[in-house]
Amino acid sequence: MIAHEIFREKLTADLVRAGLPIAATFDPSLSSGIRLETVDESLPPSVFLEWRVHPQLTDHFLSLGPAELLSDPRVQAMQNTRRAMHTAVTAILEFAGYQVREAEGEQAGALVVSRADSAPR
């Protein structure tokens, strides 16, 4: 588990050096920026990464019913922002030597980041 935390700390430091904000809490209504979550028991160590929009936009998203989600312009802006930031963060991390891919399952919509030298062959 120590290897996981060391990897996460190095990734966090690289993101901060690139000028990207790190979300201060796991609560999306309290912070924005990049949220990192260690992928438990993964070998080699990996981290889920997700871009969090401003808490006011998150609160708006949570206030809508299912029928309103598809047509709400603020929800579309939130999705477009998240997509653009994931694209930008992916480019930054790949340049820095990380492997980045789309997460699946419960974490769909997030990115999975690992060391480039650990890519499956």
Q: Where are the beta strands (DSSP E) in the chain?
A: 33-38, 46-52, 98-102, 111-115
Q: How far apart are CA 8 and CA 11, in angstroms?
A: 5
The whole-model pTM stands at 0.82
Confidence at residue 118, expressed as pLDDT on a 0 to 100 scale: 60
pLDDT digits (tens, 9 = 90+) for 62-115: 788 888 888 889 888 888 988 999 999 999 999 999 999 999 888 888 999 998
pLDDT digits (tens, 9 = 90+) for 7-48: 999 999 999 999 999 998 877 778 889 999 988 777 889 999
